[in-house]
C-alpha cells in the first residue's frame, strides 16, 4: 500500500516543515504538505557541494511516509520502490541569496524553479503513487550524483527527470556538453621575431575552431555553440618559454556526436594539444514513447490544454541517463526556465500543484501499462 500524502496537512509535521511558513502557502491547495516541503527545501541552502542539510530534509519527508530511504555515499537521496518509473531531480542550486517569501501565490527563493520545485513535486508524486525516487547532487557542477546513479543501480522501466518545463510542457531533447583545455608551449624569443608564440597559436586555434562551427542553422538547438571560458598565457617562471592555456566548452546538438566535435577541434591543431574532460552526450527522445504519450494525456487531463513538446539548448542529467540506460524518458517540472539562476527566481504555487497532478497521472498510467 502506498503511504499517501495528507493533502490537508498544515503546521508542524514530522517531515520538518517550517512552523513559521506563511498561511498563504497552503491556502486552498490540494497539496498542502507538498507545498510545506517545497517551502522548507527552498529555505534550506543547498549550493552545489553543500547539499547535506537539504538532503536530510528530503530524507525526513520520505521517512514520514514510511518509505525506504537513505543517503548514499555521494549524497543522493535514494527512495527505491516501484521501478516502473524512476522520478529524479537535483538537490543542488547555484549560489544566490534570495529571501524566501510567499506573496500573491508566488514562492520566491533560490532553487524554487531550478530545480527544487520539480524535485519536491516529484517527491510528492513518488509518495502518492509508490514509484521510485532519487534526489541527486551536483547537477549544477559535475553531475556526480547522476554519474554515480547510472553506475550503481539497475535500469528502470522509465525515467522522468526533473527540470522546469512549465506544468504544460515536457522536454524531450537536450544538447550535449564537451569541455577541455588547450595547452601550448613555445620558446621565449624577442617580440620582433616573426614566428608565432604559444599565445598566438592558441588564439589562432580557437578562431579556426569557432569559425568552423559558425554556421546558419534552424535555431540554436541544432547549432554547435562554442565558448572560451578562460584564457591564460605568458612567460614561464624560468623565463625560457611562453605558455598558453584556453578552457573551452561546446554544446553539441543531437545531429552530431561528441566525437564529431572533438575531431574538428583536434584537426585544427598546429601546435599544442587539448585535454578533454568527461563528455555528456546529446539526447533527443521520440514523442511517441510511452513516457511522452503519458505526459500528453496527463497534461490534457489536468488542464484541458495542448501539451508543449520542448527541446532545450542546455544540458541536463537526462543526457547522462539516456547515455547509460535504454529506456524511455523525458524531463518535466513546474516553473519558467527563463528564471533559472535569475535574481528574481520564483514559482507559481498553483503551477506546482498542477505539476504534481500531472506527475501522479503519468506514474499511474505507466505503472498500469
- The catalytic residues are 92, 139
**How many helical (H) and strand (E) elements, i.e. helices and strands, does the chain have?**
9, 16
Q: Which residues, other chains included, contact 144 with Cβ-Cβ below 8 Å and sequence gap of 6+?
A: 74, 137, 138
Q: Residue 133 in contact with residue 62, Cβ under 8 Å?
A: yes
State the Cα–Cα distance between residues 87 and 71, nearest whole angstrom. 16
Q: Which residues, other chains included, contact 203 with Cβ-Cβ below 8 Å and sequence gap of 6+?
A: none
65 is in an annotated binding site: no
Q: Is residue 158 classed exposed, middle or buried when 0-12, 13-18 and 19+ CB atoms within 10 A define those classes?
A: buried
6 is in an annotated binding site: no
Q: Which residue has the cell 529555505?
A: 43
Element holding 150 (H helix, E strand): helix 144-152
State the Cα–Cα distance between residues 101 and 116, nearest whole angstrom. 15
Cell numbers at residue 220, please? 540554436
90 is in an annotated binding site: yes
Strands lying side by side in the sheet with 225-235: 225-235, 241-252, 176-187, 273-276
187 is in an annotated binding site: no
163 is in an annotated binding site: yes
Query: What are the binding residues for Zn(2+)?
Result: 90, 114, 140, 163, 341
Amino acid at each position: 500500500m502506498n503511504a499517501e500524502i495528507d493533502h490537508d496537512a498544515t503546521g508542524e509535521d514530522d517531515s520538518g516543515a517550517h512552523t513559521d511558513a506563511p498561511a498563504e502557502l497552503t491556502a486552498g491547495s490540494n497539496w498542502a504538505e507538498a507545498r510545506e516541503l517545497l517551502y522548507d527545501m527552498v529555505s534550506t541552502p543547498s549550493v552545489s557541494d553543500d547539499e547535506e542539510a537539504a538532503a536530510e530534509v528530503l530524507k525526513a519527508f520520505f521517512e514520514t511516509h514510511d518509505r525506504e530511504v537513505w543517503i548514499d555515499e555521494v549524497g543522493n537521496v535514494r527512495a527505491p520502490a516501484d521501478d516502473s518509473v524512476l522520478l529524479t531531480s537535483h538537490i543542488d542550486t547555484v549560489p544566490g541569496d534570495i529571501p524566501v517569501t510567499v506573496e500573491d501565490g508566488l514562492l520566491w527563493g533560490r532553487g524554487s524553479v531550478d530545480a527544487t520545485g520539480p524535485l519536491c513535486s516529484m517527491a510528492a508524486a513518488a509518495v502518492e503513487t509508490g514509484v521510485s525516487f532519487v534526489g541527486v547532487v551536483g547537477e549544477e557542477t559535475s553531475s556526480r550524483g547522476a554519474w554515480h546513479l547510472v553506475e550503481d543501480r539497475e535500469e528502470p522501466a522509465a525515467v522522468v527527470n526533473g527540470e522546469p518545463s512549465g506544468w504544460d510542457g515536457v522536454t524531450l531533447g537536450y544538447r550535449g556538453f564537451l569541455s577541455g583545455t588547450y595547452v601550448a608551449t613555445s620558446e621565449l624569443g624577442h617580440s620582433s621575431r616573426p614566428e608565432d608564440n604559444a599565445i598566438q597559436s592558441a588564439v589562432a586555434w580557437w578562431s579556426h575552431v569557432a569559425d568552423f562551427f559558425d554556421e546558419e542553422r534552424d535555431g540554436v538547438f541544432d547549432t554547435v555553440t562554442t565558448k572560451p571560458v578562460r584564457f591564460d598565457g605568458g612567460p614561464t617562471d624560468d623565463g625560457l618559454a611562453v605558455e598558453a592555456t584556453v578552457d573551452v566548452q561546446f554544446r553539441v546538438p543531437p545531429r552530431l556526436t561528441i566525437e564529431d566535435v572533438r575531431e574538428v577541434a583536434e584537426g585544427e591543431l598546429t601546435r599544442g594539444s587539448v585535454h578533454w574532460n568527461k563528455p555528456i552526450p546529446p539526447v533527443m527522445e521520440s514523442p511517441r514513447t510511452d513516457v511522452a504519450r503519458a505526459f500528453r494525456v496527463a497534461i490534457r487531463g489536468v488542464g484541458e490544454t495542448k501539451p508543449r513538446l520542448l527541446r532545450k539548448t542546455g544540458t541536463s542529467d537526462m543526457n547522462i541517463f539516456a547515455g547509460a540506460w535504454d529506456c524511455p524518458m523525458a524531463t518535466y517540472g513546474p516553473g519558467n526556465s527563463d528564471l533559472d539562476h535569475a535574481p528574481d527566481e520564483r514559482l507559481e504555487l498553483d503551477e506546482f500543484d498542477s505539476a504534481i497532478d500531472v506527475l501522479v497521472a503519468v506514474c499511474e498510467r505507466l505503472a498500469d501499462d
